[in-house]
Amino acid sequence: MRILLDKFSKSFGTTSVIEDMNLEVGSGEMLALLGPSGCGKSTTLFAICGIHRPTAGRILFGDRDVTNLPSQERNVGVVFQSYALYPHMTVEENIGFPLTVRRVAASDIKKQVAGIAALVHIDNLLDRKPSQLSGGQQQRVALARALIRRPDVLLLDEPLANLDAKLRLEMRSEIRRLQKETGITAILVTHDQVEAMSMCDRIAIMKSGEIVQVATPSQMYQDPRTAFVAGFLGNPPISFLKGKAAHGAFVSTDGKLQMTLPALSGIADGTALTLGIRPEHFGTAGNVPVEGKVTFAETQGRENLYDVVLPDGSVIRSIQPVRDDVTLGDQVRWGIDSKSAFVFAEDGTRL
Amino acid sequence: MSEKSKASANFSSIPVIALLGLLSLPLVVMYAYLILDTVTNSEPGSLVPNEFTLEHWKFLWETRSGKSSIWLVTLNTFIFTCCITGVILLVSSMAGYVLSRLNVPARGFFLAGVMVLHAFPSVTLIISIFIVLQYIGLYNSLIGVILVKAAIDMPLGIWLMKGFYDTVPWEIEMAGIVDGASRFTVWRRLVLPQIKPAIMALGLFSFLTGWSEFILPQVLAPGSQVQVLSVYLASLIADDNNFDFATFKAVGVFYVIPVLILYVFFQKHLMNIYGGGTKG
Ligand SMILES: Nc1ncnc2c1ncn2[C@@H]1O[C@H](COP(=O)(O)OP(=O)(O)OP(=O)(O)O)[C@@H](O)[C@H]1O
Ligand SMILES: [Mg+2]
């Protein structure tokens, strides 16, 4: 079912958290809501599931306006960041609770709980209390509870935040598999860009209550609209260089680096600019040479990571296939791939 | 008592136990004599009983002239205490939830007001309460005194419950709401079980204070049909004509028995009061 936020605003008392947000999530799509802490991700989620009433604007499920519908009538499944399992109930009662309050027959509940528990691989834990489960198991219980009444919409608020790396990887694909299998429209809130990129069809990046860009992961990565988006996606992160425009080229503050960029053709000389270079676009293959000193070197097994300090003090990160000829303190002369560099105006918009 | 801590290896507990035992010996002796005296007679001036008798317990099967039957009084006391406990539990558990979770206008004022009410010693109010009860026709009735006692004890209960509700995580309620439960169902099925230890504690506490309440029933419900045990007990020594100290003691023991039984049964819950709450 399609979800549409239309000029959605939310404020708590006098503090306005979200203003005029427009967002559409297609039917059966999984969208990641990505952004720094406190930008309003959970608030958006709570408005969609009906816990918070929007201050202004509309929320539509399909063509139905649910803005003023209480949570109970929205049929939304939510997995809370802290799981919010009911501590006094067994796993079976927890998962069955949404059906119990709907007065489904007990034998029916038992059958459905067994089915959904098998789907998330916790069918051997049904008699335990939540406190007797590991974090990953609790998370699956929360997921099963959200899924059992076949919700139209599934909302996940940082569901993987408390898991260890291996389990997180496992659950990532498991959630994605379940979402695809059931065809539910889902929104995943996360801090973790890798999670967002690997699990979701599209990503919406938020910054202080606004959606900056909505795009598919690869689009977002290759074509960021602002410096904030470019800085948010990518690991290791993008590096930024300060400079000015001069004759259709980017010139670093000390004038040593000059790079002609088609994006700068109409820009007045002297305009302050920021150049963004992803680590994989700075290395031996680049076409614009830069000289600097290696101040940080780290191997990640398959690749090596270097920080190169330019004479003017700015730092560019580089990621390259493993090599052992460069060590800390070496003077290097590597190149920037000018076709892949992003240039941003002073206010952060991409040119 | 399964988790009684093991005696520490480098610290002998015997001297402590001996000292405590010695200090509490007078109490033990007094309790022993209290019970012993109710079933024996002794020579005047002697401490050693010389005959076994059940005559002091005669009040159980014989109603003395001018007195009400002990069983009626006991029944009254049970009704009085249970109603108080019920009313306090019901109102406090709901009012505490409302004050903790819902958007109540003037919540701070209300909470402060409730506290001030609690600070009033009930004796200072007794004349006005008497007049009010007289006026609405509830003087000398169990209902009247139950309402008064419950109202006086309620502020503490409300505050206690509010404090416990404050510790229940919001997410549990949110989860319940999106799972399709009504607010009332959420309260009853999800939140109330989280504060069960507090309910137990408050219930026990209310029962004990209700059971031992004397001044309110004495003033507001002195009639023989609505007498409670504490008033009955007091009437025994107020009666100068046939002063019977041994019967007084026997009634006293009879009066304490339910409390002792309660302690035996609920000791575990009393111990657990601080061990409950939500974990993990
Ligand atoms: N009930 C509330 N009253 C007042 N302000 C609130 C309330 N709830 C949230 N806020 C504010 O709204 C902003 C957004 O909060 P929200 O919980 O949506 O952030 P978030 O993006 O989910 O952050 P995180 O990633 O840390 O969970 C924050 O600045 C927060 O202080
Ligand atoms: Mg959040």
CA dist A198 and A169 (Å) reads 10
Whether residues A16 and A150 fall in one domain: yes
Domain spans, chain B:
3-53, 60-275
CA dist B44 and A302 (Å) reads 102
Nearest 5°: phi and psi at A228?
-60, -45
Domain membership flag for residue A296: yes
Residue of B168, B179, B185, B194 to mutate, interface with A, max A Cβ within 10 Å: B179
* Ligand with minimal distance to A206 CA: 1
Among candidate residues A195, A210, A231, the one where a domain is terminated = A231
Q: Write the residue with the smallest CA distance to atom 2 of ligand 1.
A: A12
Over the stretch A152-184, which tens digit does the pLDDT of each residue have?
899 999 888 777 788 788 888 888 988 888 889
Alpha helices in A104-164 (DSSP H): 106-119, 135-147
> Cβ distance B256 to B34 under 8 Å?
no
**What does R_g of chain A's alpha carbons equal in angstroms?**
24
**pLDDT per residue rounded down to tens, chain B (280 residues):** 344 445 556 777 888 899 999 999 999 998 888 888 888 888 777 778 888 888 888 888 887 777 788 899 999 999 999 999 999 999 999 999 999 988 888 888 888 888 887 777 778 888 888 999 999 998 989 999 999 999 888 888 998 899 999 999 988 999 999 999 999 999 999 999 999 888 988 898 899 899 999 999 999 988 888 899 999 888 888 766 767 788 888 888 999 999 989 888 887 776 655 554 433 3
Of A78, A88, A131, the CB nearest to B175: A78
Pick from A11-25, A125-139, A159-173: least confident: A159-173
Whether residues A225 and A246 fall in one domain: no
CA distances from A82 to A119, A130, A140, B89, B280 (A): 22, 12, 12, 31, 10
Among candidate residues A215, A231, A247, the one where a domain is terminated = A231
* Cβ–Cβ below 8 Å for A71 and B194: no
Q: Which residues of A touch B185 (CB under 8 A)?
A: 101
Whether residues A13 and A115 fall in one domain: yes
Pick from A115-124, A185-194, B55-64: least confident: B55-64
Is the CATH number of domain B60-275 1.10.3720.10?
A: yes
* Cβ–Cβ below 8 Å for B181 and A97: yes
Whether residues A131 and A256 fall in one domain: no
A74: closest chain B residue by CA: B178
The length of chain B in residues reads: 280
Q: Write the residue with the smallest CA distance to atom 28 of ligand 1.
A: A38
Q: State which of A19, A21, A33, A43 you would mutate to test the pocket of ligand 1, scoring each by most atoms of that ligand within 8 A of its C-beta.
A: A43
pLDDT surpasses 90 at A135: no
CA dist A55 and A96 (Å) reads 33
Q: Which residues of A touch B193 (CB under 8 A)?
A: 88
- Spell A259-282 as b/e; 16+ CB within 10 A means b: bebeebeebeeeeebbbbbbbbbb
Residue A30 β-bridge partners: A186
Domain membership flag for residue A312: yes
Q: In what order do the strands lie in the sheet with A331-336?
A: A282-283, A331-336, A288-299, A303-309, A315-321
Give the pLDDT confidence score for residue A98 in this predicted structure: 94
Q: Give mean pLDDT, residues A29-56.
A: 91
Give the pLDDT confidence score for residue B272 in this predicted structure: 57
The enclosing domain of A171 has a CATH number of 3.40.50.300
* C-alpha A19 to ligand 2 mean position (Å): 17
Residues of A with CB under 8 A from a CB of B: 46, 49-51, 71-72, 74-78, 80, 82, 84-88, 97-98, 101-102, 130-131, 145, 149
Whether residues A168 and A207 fall in one domain: yes
Rounded to the nearest angstrom, the minimum Cα separation between A48 and chain B is: 11
Whether residues A280 and A191 fall in one domain: no
CA dist A291 and A308 (Å) reads 8
Residues of B with CB under 8 A from a CB of A: 169, 171-172, 174-182, 185, 189-190, 193-194, 196, 278-280
Among candidate residues A207, A231, A255, the one where a domain is terminated = A231
- This prediction's pTM: 0.79
Whether residues A152 and A262 fall in one domain: no
* Cβ–Cβ below 8 Å for A86 and B178: no
Whether residues A312 and A180 fall in one domain: no
Amino acid sitting at position B113: G
Number of domains in chain A: 2
Interface pTM, i.e. ipTM: 0.78
Q: Write the residue with the smallest CA distance to atom 25 of ligand 1.
A: A37
- Spell B183-219 as b/e; 16+ CB within 10 A means b: bebbbebbbbebbebbbbbbbbbbbbbbbebeebbbb
Domain membership flag for residue A72: yes
Give the pLDDT confidence score for residue B273 in this predicted structure: 53
Rounded to the nearest angstrom, the minimum Cα separation between A172 and chain B is: 22
**SS3 assignment for A3-33:** EEEEEEEEEECCEEEEEEEEEEECCCCEEEE
Whether residues A216 and A254 fall in one domain: no
Range of the domain at A268: 237-345
Whether residues A170 and A50 fall in one domain: yes
Whether residues A165 and A284 fall in one domain: no
> Cβ distance A229 to A220 under 8 Å?
yes
Query: Ligand 2 being an ion, which residues bring their Cβ within 5 A of it?
Result: A 42
